[in-house]
Amino acid sequence: MVKLMIVNKMKNQLIAVSLSICLSIASFTAVAAGDEGVQLFPVDINVFDTAALQQGARTFVDYCLGCHGANYMRFKRLAGDLGYSEEEVEQYLLPAGRELVDTMTAAMDAELGVEVFGTDPPDLSLVARARGGQWLYSYFLSFYEDEERALGWNNTVFPNASMPHVMWELQGVQALAHQDDSHGEPHGDDSHGGHPNPADQFELIEAGLQSPEEYQRTVQDLVTFLVYLSEPSQLQRHRMGIWVMLFLALFAFLAWMLKAEYWRDVH
């Protein structure tokens, strides 16, 4: 009777695990289908690049924190994770009137956001987990001028989004590149070795404060910070992982020596 109960319990657990896997696959498929046809630009995100994290945090505070918050992060934690001192966080990242122990809440009131944009700007704490770094990188590079939109901007990765192009002064103003009538593809030289290239999809009609290469680096740093925001503990986890692996290697060696000592007389 006891064995039968154990077997039934194991079957129920296997069924639950199988259903969970199936639901995860279905959810992933739905997300992939939602972005079908969207060309994403290649990018290398390294959350262990301290300089990129620092620059990305400054860009986030300067251009994102006005409307979007990161309510799961406190300014004080940035001091340790980003290699800043608390004084440097206060100097470079802390908005006026905020304290180090405060969370990174948006400066804009939610009701004002709904009035201006038609929706409350979402919190960005987990946006990199939901969308992925490559999607975010491509999104920030894909704004173009669209006179039919109320705010004058549109985006090929997220069409008809309520968000304006807040970093247009850095990037400049770009328009959709002329389409090839025979294939429906933008003209371009494919200079990225077969990968989608922003220069193939857009043409710069008004230069910004940064060159295209500098702006791409700025966006890459910003996305690096957003990826860090989505899981800050990954920095400590990876550092701790090295010591864990060393401990396991030492423990395995000691266990092997102990086994050899016990079995010496047997052999």
Render pLDDT for 1-56 as a digit per residue (tens, 0 to 9). Answer: 544 444 454 455 444 434 343 433 333 333 443 455 678 999 999 999 999 999 99
Q: Count CB neighbours of 53 within 10 A.
A: 24
Total tally of structural domains belonging to the chain: 1
State pTM to two decimals. Answer: 0.74
Decide: 226 and 127 in contact? Cβ < 8 Å.
Answer: yes
Does 101 map to a domain? Answer: yes
Nearest Cα to Cα of residue 40 among 181, 197, 149, 146: 197
Please report, for the domain that includes residue 136, its CATH number.
1.10.760.10
- pLDDT tens digits, one per residue of 75-130: 999 998 999 999 999 999 999 889 999 999 998 888 887 887 878 899 999 999 99
Does 69 map to a domain? Answer: yes
Q: Count CB neighbours of 108 within 10 A.
A: 17
Average pLDDT of the residues of the chain: 82
Decide: 46 and 223 in contact? Cβ < 8 Å.
Answer: no
Quote the domain boundaries for residue 153.
Answer: 45-231
Does 59 map to a domain? Answer: yes
